[in-house]
Amino acid sequence: MTGAMVQETQDAVRETGTTVRGTAEFPWRIGTRGSLLALTQAGTVRDTLIAAGQQAELVIVKTAGDQSSDPVEKIGVGVFTAALREELAAGTVDIAVHSYKDLPTAPDPRFTMAAIPPREDPRDALVARDGLVLGELPAGAVIGTSAPRRAAQLRALGLGLEIVPLRGNLDTRLSKVANGELDAVVVARAGLARIGRTDAVTEALEPVQMLPAPAQGALAVECRSEETELVTILSALDDYGTRAAITAERALLAELEAGCTAPIGALAEVVESLDDDGRVVEELSLRGCAAAIDGSDVIRASAVGSLADAAELGRSLARELLELGARDLLSVSGSGAGTSSATTSEAAEETDRSSNPSPMENNR
């Protein structure tokens, strides 16, 4: 369609009183949290839409998690996404961009997960003083982390490290190492990559050392379910392999009934293998673990299945973990959740309570 034809169509639509979305006059409104990381993530979605001829803008939404230093078990699971979803349901924004790992596992029929873009590196990253890697940190070294999953797996390595809770945005966390307050911090490598700070990483932790959180490194792009045209537009951003991996990991998490504060790790990867006829086919390799919060035990299991059956692969591996004793580990970990400093959720990782709202911020 030529530019003149587009203009004629828009003029005709205006005459009938219908709003054309995705135009300079009526751009798609993308809801996002106000931290640097959240703005960067939402900005990639905005820029991709603009490159495809769909005008879009960012709208900053304050969340309760951004304004509180309390642990997530006190302010509630999903606190970092609830406000965005409220604005999406109210029609204040058209699209919401989340860090997928922050979303509750239960689906919300009001919304459609229109796109899961290609995933960033899902591994955890160590940022340590003097360029040290994990094995070089001396016994008694103080490491900050927000996640019970990370704390449990660090303790399980038996290195004699002191694990302390950590809140604040990524710059705040990195500064605690730079100023000597901590010997190291462990954060998601994806967050550092998105804000251009991978130079700070002293070691990317391999999954055999530390399995990442389910959906770590992935974005969730959702809109209202009735907006079928927008669902179609956003689907162009979707990556099939990433969606399959996230589906498997989240199914495992949901089956374990863990919620975002439980010490559960999961990682699914698309791998190539040979079928019975010697042809190369793609399969989904899934690893999962459940850990005692004190690091006394870590139960691991793995499975391989088809991408089309990703959800069942996740549920099946979760059942295997439960049979191996994960239920007991989760019960023990959960019983101490109210007192353990390690139970602060990693959903809080990108919190930026000092970010300045833009003029577009919704102040309802």
Position with higher pLDDT, 223 vs 18:
223
pLDDT at 337 over 50: no
Average pLDDT score, the chain:
85
Task: Please write the tens of the pLDDT for every residue from 77-113.
Answer: 567 789 999 999 999 999 999 999 999 899 999 999 9
CATH topology of domain 3-117+218-238: D-Maltodextrin-Binding Protein; domain 2 (3.40.190)
Q: Which pTM value belongs to this model?
A: 0.84
pLDDT at 230 over 80: yes
Task: Please write the tens of the pLDDT for every residue from 47-78.
Answer: 999 999 999 999 999 876 566 555 554 555 56
CATH topology of domain 244-340: Double Stranded RNA Binding Domain (3.30.160)
Task: Please write the tens of the pLDDT for every residue from 318-328.
Answer: 999 999 988 88
**Beta-strand runs (E) in the chain:** 28-32, 56-60, 95-99, 111-115, 124-128, 142-145, 162-165, 184-188, 203-205, 219-224, 264-274, 280-291, 298-305
CATH top-level class of 124-215: alpha beta
Task: Supply the residues annotated as catalytic.
Answer: 102
- For 13-17, 139-143, 189-193, which range has the lowest pLDDT when averaged over its residues? 13-17
Task: Please write the tens of the pLDDT for every residue from 140-185.
Answer: 999 999 899 999 999 999 999 999 998 888 999 999 999 999 999 9
pLDDT at 293 over 50: yes
**Dihedral through CA 248, CA 252, CA 254, CA 260, nearest 10?**
-100
Distance (Å, rounded) from C-alpha 162 to C-alpha 138?
10
* Range list for CATH 3.40.190.10 in the chain: 3-117+218-238, 124-215
pLDDT at 267 over 60: yes
Supply 207's token pair.
């999954």
